[in-house]
Amino acid sequence: MTGPVRTALVTGAQQGIGRAAALALAADGCDVVVNWLDDEDAAHSVADEVIALGRRSVLLRGDVSSVDFCRRLVAETVRSFGRIDVLVNNAGIFPRVPFLDMAEAEWDRVISVNLKGSVFCAQAAAQAMAEAQTPGAIINLSSAALRGMPLGVHYAATKAGIVGATRSMALALARHGIRVNAIAPGLTDTAQPRHGHSEEELTDMAKSIPLGRIGHPTDIANLIVFLASDRAEWITGQTYHINGGAYLR
């Protein structure tokens, strides 16, 4: 890699896809800001692994549902490393609830974290990139936007919103050289599906996937690294579905 060391900010990086993204970006040469919320030991472990890969890391705790925090998160990233080149909007929640029982507070909380948080983290990052006249990449995590989820009407709504926001942000930011893309993972081996399914159920679900297994966080992280790199310099406004062929059925 030539030129200045890039800086990547990954929200919700303490576990799962966020953790895999932070480590993969570090392995690709980025310094990494690890945003986390509720597992300090896990967050420190990610930062330690980034450092072991020869890159710098900073831990920033906070909830992306707060617009003020989104702005402070980016400001602290720039203060710590002098720049921001990559934002991975990974932080999200999925409290399962039957649609007929869903309360307004549950709807509002999921919208605030998953959709509002992603949009305003992207806005803050893009403002910093534009002010520095530094081309950058924003990668949003989407899923469930096409098929929906019976216990996740609020969750699916946020992920569909992210697809639309990704396209619109890509158009708004292209003149600044800022690319915006989304990744929609299928069934992936993280805490989220394990929260709502037994191991036997996950095994049965994997059998229905044409490639014969559920995804690994590294499967998603590999695409994140590509979309963050100069190798994807003519790609923006796209949503990539990584699901082992599940949508082919």
For the entire predicted model, the pTM comes to 0.94
Residue 102's Cβ-side half-sphere holds a number of Cα atoms within 13 Å equal to: 19
Is pLDDT of 205 > 80?
no
Position 56 pLDDT exceeds 60: yes
CB atoms within 10 A of CB 246: 18
| Largest separation between any pair of C-alpha atoms in the chain | 55
For range 33-53, the mean pLDDT: 97
What does the pLDDT average to over 183-198? 77
- Mean pLDDT across the chain: 93
- Residue 194 pLDDT exceeds 70: no
- Band (pLDDT 50/70/90 cuts) for residue 249 is low
Question: Long-range contacts made by residues 201-204, C-beta under 8 angstroms, separation at least 24?
Answer: none
Q: How many H-runs (helices) and E-runs (strands) does the chain carry? A: 9, 7
Segment 198-218 mean pLDDT: 84
- Active-site residue identified among 46, 155, 170, 179: 155
Percentage, residues of the chain above pLDDT 70: 96
pLDDT mean over 119-141: 98
Q: Is the pLDDT of residue 15 over 70?
A: yes
Whole-angstrom distance, CA of residue 104 vs CA of residue 48: 40
Looking at the DSSP bridge assignments, the partners of residue 137 are: 86, 179
| C-alpha dist (Å) from residue 76 to 71, 83, 121, 128, 194 | 9, 10, 12, 11, 33
CB within 8 A of 38, min separation 6: which ones? 14
- Report d(CA 244, CA 249) in Å as an integer: 11
Give yes or no for residue 144 having a pLDDT over 80.
no
Q: What pLDDT is stored for residue 1 in this prediction?
A: 43
Which has more confidence, 204 or 47?
A: 47
Q: Is the pLDDT of residue 77 over 80?
A: yes
pLDDT computed for residue 193 by the predictor: 66
Could you tell me which residue, 205 or 211, shows the higher pLDDT? 211
Question: Is residue 247 annotated as part of the catalytic site, yes or no?
Answer: no
Mean local confidence (pLDDT), 217-221: 97
> What's residue 149's pLDDT?
85
